[in-house]
A = this chain, B = another copy of it.
Amino acid sequence: MQICRIIGDVVSTQKNPEFKGHKLLIVEPVDLDKKTALGTSMIAVDIVNAGKDDLVLVNKEGSSARLLLDNENIPVQAVIVGIIDDIDVPKSS
């Protein structure tokens, strides 16, 4: 699972019918400073009511996605599984 920031969404009218009712959000992996973008953005489905600019926890496996959405036929890979309130990375002594 990775820490990501929600940065936008995708509009698609012609798509697999299982996607109906699910918003397709664009998420960007970010570093522990919560700002620096890391790697390529992905398209994820949300199950915790996250919104634009939220820092979120993203699971990138389709098998998890299908369990979470309780739909064995939805062709999703990434799912937003939590909104991150804070990141705690203390300095090592």
A contacts, CB < 8 Å to B: 1-3, 7-16, 19, 24, 26, 29, 31-32, 38-44, 47-50, 52-53, 57, 59-65, 67-68, 72-73, 75-79, 81-90, 92
Count the copies.
Answer: 5
Which residues from B are CB-within-8-Å of A86? Answer: 10-11
CA–CA, A85 to B39, complex, Å? 24
B11 touches A87 (CB 8 A): yes
Give A30 Cβ to nearest chain B Cβ, in Å: 10
Cβ-defined contact, B90 with A16, below 8 A: no
Contact check, B79 vs A75: say whether CB atoms are below 8 A apart: yes
Q: Which residues of B contact A1 (CB under 8 A)?
A: 24, 42-44, 76-78
